[in-house]
Amino acid sequence: AQLDSLEDAAAGRLIYIQEIGQSTGWDDMPETLGPLASLETQRACLAALYDELAIRADCFRSVCLWTLNDFSRAGMDFVRDPLLAQGFPACYADNIAEIFGPTGRVRSDATASKKPAFDELVQAIQFLNP
């Protein structure tokens, strides 16, 4: 439905989606986001989106990924700490960090181990260069 509304608003012009992403929760275990964030939710969300984009490929100029790799918890302190300094509650800052931190297709571990959505990404971009 959202892609339909984008197409309607574009009125025949090509669409550019600046960033797409779906959180999986820290260490693959959602904390503040509950069932909205999981490995399976990320994989299913991206698979469905890629399928829809493939159907409508002629309507899009480009679609960019939010990030390939997760941000580390320490890296997300650069987002979290200013929120706390401005007086936002810790639960809000934690929620923002969890939304944006673990949105990658590979983990922020020493080996950049891939998440299930990584395979969805590889499968999705194969149609660009058959």
Which token pair is 12? 């025949």
Q: Which amino acid is at 92?
A: Y
CA gap 101, 65 in Å, rounded: 14
pLDDT tens digits for 58-110? 898 888 888 999 999 899 999 999 999 999 999 999 999 999 999 999 999 88
pTM for the structure as a whole:
0.82
pLDDT tens digits for 20-36? 889 999 888 888 888 88
Confidence category of residue 50, pLDDT binned at 50, 70, 90: confident
Residue 120: partners with Cβ closer than 8 Å, 6 or more residues away: 43, 46, 47, 50
Q: What is the dihedral of CA 51, 52, 56, 61, to 10 degrees?
A: -90
